[in-house]
Structure 1
């Protein structure tokens, strides 16, 4: 019993021409997952050299050598005064403060909250970040008020032959 409504309106080969073609690649779910895992493996292996370089750089931070850089002459910086300089790179702003006859402190002067500049207020004896009213202890660089939670990165200074030099950066320990 064939009914007019049950007839296929066109040749079945024509209807399924795109399902089973010779030499066609078949990519089912399993094949797709194998390809995905393989691609992820290739990506992971190809990123290993960069990870090794980053690990080498991060583990060697404490041993990193910086070139000695002259900041100022002792006689040109009065007790209680400060001078801005760049260290360790030309775009890394820092501040040197003379606290007494023989004591100098230096810090990178970008606030550890949002990297706003930190200023020395000689009258109040405080290091201030005007962006969010952050304050730092001048002797240690530790935050004492405001939103900053980490100390300012300290720069090691050395006095030689009447001049003050920046010689290194203290590694921040989390």
Structure 2
């Protein structure tokens, strides 16, 4: 007598009873991993040109040339006063402060914590970020209180023929 429980109704190679018998073992675990590693490698290689462009741009920021921009005349800014202006772009807010007869400083006017505007407090001799009570030294641009940890980017200035000009941006260096 034949044992019907042990009878195999199909060929042993067709263990899933798939209609596409010839293609059922095309993508096993090893094939899947090869495909996955190949796709990751292709992605990495395709992103290299963008990474090199970004690195070249970041490396050249300190050497970047900006067109000089006239901010104000010496007579228009009294000692202790500040002037708002835009530099290096039209939408980049900046702040010029006259600390003494001969000393001027200028910083980009966005807190390094969350980019809130920074205001000059003449009576306190510091710049204040009202969003999270951040404070920056007017002489150095470095944070003295609050959550900001990086100094404000400093704008390089030049005084010539009775006018104050913005000439460049000194980036933060760790």
Give the TM-score range, shorter chain.
0.7 to 0.9
Q: How has the CA–CA distance of structure 1 residues 4 and 35 changed in structure 2, closer, same or farther, with 3 Å as cutoff?
A: closer
Which residue of the partner structure matches residue 160 of structure 2? 160
Which residue of the partner structure matches residue 62 of structure 1? 62
Residue deviations 1:25-53 (CA, integer Å, cap 9, x gap): 71001111111111111111111111111
Where has structure 1 moved over 4 Å in runs of 4 or more? 2-8, 11-17
Could you tell me whether the CA contact under 8 Å between 2:18 and 2:24 is conserved in 1? no
Aligned-residue Cα RMSD (Å) equals 2.3
Tell me, what secondary structure is at the counterpart of 2:30? Answer: helix
Which residue of the partner structure matches residue 145 of structure 1? 145
Q: For structure 1, which runs of at least 5 residues remain unmatched after alignment?
A: none
Which residue of the partner structure matches residue 53 of structure 1? 53
State the shift of 1:2 in Å. Answer: 4.4
State the shift of 1:21 in Å. Answer: 2.1
Q: CA–CA distance in 2 between the matches of 1:12 and 1:79?
A: 97
Which residue of the partner structure matches residue 98 of structure 1? 98
Q: Count residues in correspondence.
A: 172
Q: How has the CA–CA distance of structure 1 residues 12 and 61 changed in structure 2, closer, same or farther, with 3 Å as cutoff?
A: same
Q: TM-score, normalised by structure 1?
A: 0.88
State the shift of 1:90 in Å. Answer: 1.5
Q: For structure 2, which runs of at least 5 residues remain unmatched after alignment?
A: none
Tell me, what secondary structure is at the counterpart of 1:45? Answer: helix
Structure 1 position 82 matched with structure 2 position 82: yes
Which residue of the partner structure matches residue 127 of structure 1? 127
State the shift of 1:125 in Å. Answer: 1.7
Which residue of the partner structure matches residue 110 of structure 1? 110
Q: How has the CA–CA distance of structure 1 residues 7 and 34 changed in structure 2, closer, same or farther, with 3 Å as cutoff?
A: closer
Which residue of the partner structure matches residue 39 of structure 2? 39
Q: How has the CA–CA distance of structure 1 residues 116 and 104 changed in structure 2, closer, same or farther, with 3 Å as cutoff?
A: same
Structure 1 position 18 matched with structure 2 position 18: yes
Residue deviations 1:114-143 (CA, integer Å, cap 9, x gap): 111110011222211111211111110111
Q: How has the CA–CA distance of structure 1 residues 30 and 7 changed in structure 2, closer, same or farther, with 3 Å as cutoff?
A: closer
Q: How has the CA–CA distance of structure 1 residues 141 and 15 changed in structure 2, closer, same or farther, with 3 Å as cutoff?
A: closer
